[in-house]
Structures are given as C-alpha cells and as structure tokens.
Amino acid sequence: MKSHYRVVVIGGGVVGASVIYHLAKFGWSDVCMLERSVLTAGSSWHAAGGIHALNADPNISALQAYTIDLLQEIEAESGQDIGLHMTGGLTMAGTPDRWEWLQSQYRVYQSIGISDCRLVTPKEAGELNPIMSTEGLLGGMWADREGYLDTTGTVHAYAKAARKRGAEYFEHTKVEALEQTQDGWRVQTDKGTITCEHVVNAGGLWAKQIGRMAGVELPVSPLKHHYLISDTIAKLENLDFEVPMTVDLEGFTYLRQDQKGVLLGIYEINHEHWAMDGAPWDYGMELFQEQTDRIENELILGFERYPALQDVGIKTWVNGAFTFSPDGNPLVGPVPGKRGYWCACAVMAGFLQGGGVGKSLAEWMIHGEPEADVYGMDVARYGKFAENREFIKQTTGQFYSRRFVMTYPNEQLPAGRPLKMAPAHDAMTAAGCQWGNSWDLEVPLYFASEEFQENPSLKRSNAFPLVGSECKTVRTGVGLLDITGFSRFEVSGPNAEAWLDNILASKLPKPGRAGLAPMLSEEGKLKGDLTVFNWGDGTWWIMGSYYLRAWHMRWFNDHLTEGVSIIDLGEDWAGFSLSGPDSKDVISKITDFSINELKFMGCATMDIDLIRAKVGRLSVTGELGYEIHCRMGDHIALRRLLLKAGAECGIREFGFNALLSLRLEKGFGIWSAEFTQGYTPGMTGMDQWIDWDKEHFIGQAAAIKERDGNGPSQKLVMLEIDADYADASGYEPVWNNDSLVGFVTSGGYGHTVKKSLALALVNNELAKKDQKLKVHVVGVEKDAKVIQMSPYDPDGLVMRV
C-alpha cells in the first residue's frame, strides 16, 4: 500500500469495485480501494443477484441497461466467471390500473431506447414461466435483458479487471478516520495513513459512519430484506430452459431459478429498519433469523402464485440488510461543501445499478460532469432537512414497502410530511387548499371543499374541473398563488455583476429589470432555467426551482470567485404571485408605488401596505402578473392584504396544478421536463436567451459549436393530441409512420384553449407546424399534430399590457 493515491475508495462491495474499475478504465489508475474485511463483506455477498433493465426513472433505467451490457465485458476482461444467466424477465400486472400502467411503461421504455421488451398475455406468460399460476393476472411485460448472476464472482470480476488496469485494492484494511487537508484528505486506516485528493464513500451498510467521519449526515438507512431458496421442484427438472426472472407486482415478490429450485424474494409491507446509524463495526458476514410472521401475507401470495412451492421444502432463508435513500435511488457525486469527498452509496440494487454508478462517478471526478443526466441519484438533490432521523425512517420505510405498490401520478404520499409550511399554510388549508410537496415544503395544488377527495388516477381525475375553474379565474379575472416554493438566491459584492455575467449565458438585465437566464455546464448542457433580477442597489436575485436549492448552491459555490457573496434566501423569504387581467387593479390599491411605470419584466422594491416587498412584473401563467416577495414572517399579512384588495374583483386562490396547465398553454418549459442537464439550449429553445456577443460565459464554446454546427438533432415542439379522457405526462413515445421520432417532455390539458397538449422533443425535420404524428397516452396510440409553440396568446400580448 502506498502512502498517497489520487483516489481512495472506501468499501469493497460491488459499488466500490465498479468505481475503481471505471476510474482506471477512464485513465486514472492511481487509485486504491480499501476493504475492512474481504471483498463483498457487506450486502454484496448475500444479494439475490437479480438484474433487470427497468426502473420508473428513465435515466436510471438507461444506467441499468449500461450495467447489464457491461457485465459480459468485465467477465471477459477479468477472466473471472460471474455466473451470468440471461433468462429474460417477466413483470406481471394483477389489477386493471396496473395493467394500464404497465402498458404505458412499456411505451416509456420504447421512448428511451429499451427495445427488447414486449407485452405478453397471461397465457403467454404462463408458457414462459410454467411454474407460475396466471390466476388473476391481466398481462405482463417481457424483457430480454434480465436474469441473474453470481454476486461474489461479479465483485471479484470488477476488482480484478480494475487491477489489470493499474488500480489497487487491499482487504483487511479498515478506514478509521478522515481528515480534510489543504490538498485533499488524510485517510487513517488500521494499517497506516494514506493521503489522497479524492475520497469515495462506497461503504454500503456503513456509509452513514463513513459520512460522519467527514462531518456529513447522509440520508441513508439499512432495511432488512428476505428471500428464500426452495428445494428442487420436479417441474423444473423436466424443463430444458430456466424460468425467467419474474416480478409479481401485486404479490410483492420476485422469483428466479436457483439450480433446480427457485429463489423467492419479498418486498415486505411490514418493513423493518436496522442499524440506522450504520452497521456495527464488528458485523461480519452474518444474516438475521428469518421473520416469517412479518412476511406471512406476502408469503401466502407467493405460494399461491407459484403453487409448486407448496410441495417442496425451503433449503435456505436469507434475511439480510441493504441500504436505501428516501426516494430509493443512490446517493452519488460530490458532497456539497466537502471538496474532494464523494458518495457512491445507498445503492439499493448494486448489481444492476453499480455499473452506471461507477461510470457516472468516474466521469464526474475526471471530467467535472457525468455524461448522462444523473440528477435522480445526485447526492445534492437533498437538503439539510433530510439529515433528520425520523424523516429518513419514514421516507426510506415508505419507499421500501411501496417498492411494488403502484403510485399514481396524482397521488400524494405521506412520509416525511408535513415538514416546512409557509406561514399562511393554516389559513390556506381553511380556505380548502389541497397540498402537495416539493423538497421539504408543502405547496398548494388546488382548492376544494372540505369533503373533496381526489381519486388516484392515471387519467384525468375528479380534480380536473376544479383546476379548470382556477385556470379560468386567472385568465379572466385575478388569481393568487403562494410562491414560497420558488428558490431565491441573493448575489452581492463588488464582483457580483462580473460573476453573474460569467455563470449565466444571458445578457444581464439593467437596474430595475429582470431577465430569463439559462445557465450552462462547460459541455454546453443546461444547468438552470433561471430568472435573474437586478434590484438596482447592487444586489441581484437568481430565482429557479425550489427543489434544486442545494443542487444549484453546490454549482454556485463551486464557481464562486472573490468579491462575490451568494446567499440562499429560501428560509427567509416567501411570496405570492398575483396574476390575471385584474392584477394591476388589485396591487395598485395597496401600494403608493407608481405601478404603471413597472413594465413587463421590471422589478422594484416597494411598499405593499405595511409590507416592504420586492416585486417583479412577470408571471408563469402568461398573464399580466406580479410576483410579490416578502419576508417569511410577512407571509400571512401579505395574503390577507391581497385577498382583501382583490375581493371586489373576485380574486381566488389557485394552486400549482392550474399553474402547470396555464404555463403549458403558453409553451413555457419547466425544469425536469423540458429542461434537464441532459439537454442543450438549441434543443429546448433556451438558445434564444443566450447573449452571443458577450466576452465569456460558462459553456460558451460548446453553445457556439452547437449553433454553428449541424445543430441539435431534436427540437422542442408543441403538440395537440387527440385525447379526451387522459393526457400525456412525460416520456411517452412520439411516432411518425411507426418510426420512433421523439418523446413527450410534459403534457396536460389546456383548460383555456380546450386542448390536450404536450411539449415534445422530436426529430428536427418533423419540428414544423401541422406535421401529423402519433403519441401513446396511457398506453393507447393517439393522433397528434405540431401546433404553434404558444397556443394561448401566441404573441404574448396580454402579459405585456
């Protein structure tokens, strides 16, 4: 073991081994992996070894597909047998809604290029897996690239292949402490001290403690998980093929063949956390006693689904632990505020995600950014609030128990809520507000009577008319929306303007003006769809999506220069958006500011009655509107004042569901849909805000290359879809004469234009008005055509009046 490495990876499970493999593969071979026991000694040795390409997050699906392709490569490279059995896989649906969902998921997989799937009838499924009872099943999905592998062999294959490329690993070497130095980290082990530039927490069950060694509280917890291995099943002895990996969603089980028996794994509704502060240091390669009482219901369902299990004994029980983050996705990437400290942990399915995690982390460390959009597993998607133990317990438990439970897109899940509430929350609840959640905050969805219950649905729900009525209020009168759920950053200091000019690709607004501001990575991909405000007193605001607060702050801090101060105002500021043709009448009643002078995209500090507010004349609804920001403590008073002043005009509160419909009618994109770090300005129309004449901004060279080259292959368009009971939501495929030509980024109903609308990225040559296309909506093919980008008020006149 040397005394210095460029990178030290802590943990010799499948994830750590994949990280050193990818670092070495991409050219960084001065790396070592330290393992306190032997390779695989955490969760990895006792995993079921199942692999399947499908995941609800399409970006994670793509990384899983990458891992599966990689497996044969590392086997060949290392010469280590990984016991790969590509049996194919079945995912079965047992309720009408689930079957509908599976059919729409199948279309989503087509959109993201997973083409080796097909839908199957229960009869076909029964032939593919002859030990499965098809009783109560409505249909299923077959995927070619599924199966299982030998877990120990796979970890050794990654490690050996990494060693062949120059990386090192050491077993029986425990990391005991970490200390940040000027150039990186001092890693204290029981075999001596190593210094390094970067340290990676791939500690699996011990990730929590390895975080704490560096003063980092990671939102991760282990939970227990059961599977059983049966004795030989006679029917399997007579088959000349292995039964496929089979997931029975309504039964909460997965199954694969194991020699001539089967392995049946259970996602337990009655879940159990274990060692929330991380596994004990002396925890060896141990298992827990099986807890059959806790999983009785799932076992009964499993034995009914696979009746042959009723006639054979159970050879082995495995009750082991593995780790979860609140949303079940890994925690990967540079930890904000800890230079050179990286995470590759909370990987729930290391054998199918480990390859993608290792690849992304290695690219990130070496090139500054991963190639794929990995926001879904970025450690910076959580804020400080997620350090709370009870929050972690509730959310990880909810994810685990609901692993195979269907979640509807309009369903609001309870774990970790309510947490942060804007001061007017209770008054808004009394007014009928139905709440959703963004990051730690409760956000208004729509307003309804006390007894109203929304039905969970893949289609338009019974809240549809309520949302329609809120849209009408905004388009014809005036509506009030709580916008505490926007992010606000204050930038000041002698170099603030120069810094903003470099970090944002747009022209900076003049004093008293606001402007739309794309932010780019060096590779010319989007990093933010922001609005920048120049308050005229040397302070600037950047506003964006609330849930990206920590993620954006990491980017700002990573690029901070001398003479610039940036503060996240999210805990101190709140606000309301007043919008609609009557909004000027309302605001002018309660301010002595000459409101007529505040033109579209103007901004000013003004008094709203007793409140000193910051006001921007803009609105995401596309109407005449004002975003009024106040101190958190003034939020209740501001709401009362605005409601009172608007009473004569019939003001009504509205929620984000209406806002989503209103912005769609205007063709305004939003982050995580039209704008992601996987897309470029040219694809999304964000290039219209780039200031091509400025001397320098981050991502300039790449943006110019896109502009002056052949341009992007796909462009954002607005589609009108011939759909009447359901709307597109995102990632549905777009077809032209049976060829896949794009996908939906977001969709919904335009209540004013009375059309089912969707924004979609489609091949350039088809991005022209009146082009006829087809789109799958909840699994059913519908006619669609390209229409003008902004079906409501195409020239943007009403917001400028």
Ligand X SMILES: Cc1cc2nc3c(=O)[nH]c(=O)nc-3n(C[C@H](O)[C@H](O)[C@H](O)COP(=O)(O)OP(=O)(O)OC[C@H]3O[C@@H](n4cnc5c(N)ncnc54)[C@H](O)[C@@H]3O)c2cc1C
Total number of residues binding ligand X (CB under 6 A)? 41
CB of 71 to ligand X, least distance (A): 11
**Which 8-state DSSP code applies to residue 86?**
-
Alpha-carbon distance values, 254 to 202, 210, 302, 349, 523 (Å): 26, 32, 9, 13, 41
> In the set 126, 184, 204, 544, which binds ligand X (CB under 6 A)?
204
203 vs 468, which CB is nearer to ligand X? Answer: 203
392 vs 603, which CB is nearer to ligand X? Answer: 392
CB of 351 to ligand X, least distance (A): 3
> How far is Cα 38 from Cα 547, in angstroms, rounded to an integer?
40
322 binds ligand X (CB under 6 A): yes
> How far is Cα 736 from Cα 719, in angstroms, rounded to an integer?
13
> In the set 7, 9, 31, 47, which binds ligand X (CB under 6 A)?
47
Among 545, 533, 537, 540, which Cα is nearest to 616's? 533
46 vs 631, which CB is nearer to ligand X? Answer: 46
352 binds ligand X (CB under 6 A): yes
12 binds ligand X (CB under 6 A): yes
Q: How far is CA 554 from the centre of its chain?
A: 17
H or E stretch at 642: helix 635-646
Q: What is the four-CA torsion angle of 470, 471, 472, 477, rounded to 10 degrees?
A: 80
Site string for ligand X, 214-233 (x = CB under 6 A): -----------x-x------
Sign (positive or negative) of CA dihedral 511, 517, 522, 524 = negative
6 binds ligand X (CB under 6 A): no
48 binds ligand X (CB under 6 A): yes
355 binds ligand X (CB under 6 A): no
Output b/e per residue, 599-632; b: 16+ Cβ within 10 A. Answer: eebbbbebebbebebbbbbbbbbbbbbbbbbbbb
45 vs 385, which CB is nearer to ligand X? Answer: 45
Site string for ligand X, 463-492 (x = CB under 6 A): ------------------------------
Find the angle CA(553)-CA(559)-CA(564) to the nearest 5 degrees. Answer: 85
CB of 269 to ligand X, least distance (A): 16
Site string for ligand X, 13-42 (x = CB under 6 A): xxxx-----------------xxxx---xx
29 vs 152, which CB is nearer to ligand X? Answer: 152
Cβ–Cβ under 8 Å, residues 188 and 176:
yes
90 vs 210, which CB is nearer to ligand X? Answer: 210
185 binds ligand X (CB under 6 A): no
> How far is Cα 205 from Cα 279, in angstroms, rounded to an integer?
6
350 binds ligand X (CB under 6 A): yes
- List the beta bridge partners of residue 544: 487
> In the set 44, 55, 129, 680, which binds ligand X (CB under 6 A)?
44
> In the set 88, 122, 203, 712, which binds ligand X (CB under 6 A)?
203
255 binds ligand X (CB under 6 A): no
13 vs 94, which CB is nearer to ligand X? Answer: 13
Find all residues with CB under 8 Å of 708, minimum gap 6, and list them. none
CB of 116 to ligand X, least distance (A): 19
324 binds ligand X (CB under 6 A): no
356 vs 570, which CB is nearer to ligand X? Answer: 356
11 binds ligand X (CB under 6 A): yes
Find all residues with CB under 8 Å of 747, minimum gap 6, and list them. 664, 719, 721, 727, 728, 729, 730, 732, 756, 757, 758, 759, 777
CB of 341 to ligand X, least distance (A): 14
Task: Classify strands 341-345 and 192-201 as parallel, antiparallel or unpaired.
Answer: parallel
Cβ–Cβ under 8 Å, residues 245 and 256:
yes
Site for ligand X in 300-319 (CB under 6 A): 318
> How far is Cα 380 from Cα 453, in angstroms, rounded to an integer?
34
- What single-letter amino acid sits at 145? R
> How far is Cα 482 from Cα 334, in angstroms, rounded to an integer?
33
H or E stretch at 393: helix 389-401
349 binds ligand X (CB under 6 A): yes
> In the set 8, 68, 128, 205, which binds ligand X (CB under 6 A)?
205
> In the set 8, 202, 759, 775, which binds ligand X (CB under 6 A)?
202
716 binds ligand X (CB under 6 A): no
Q: Which residues bind ligand X (CB under 6 A)?
A: 10-16, 34-37, 41-44, 46-50, 174-175, 202-206, 210, 225, 227, 318, 320-322, 345, 347-352
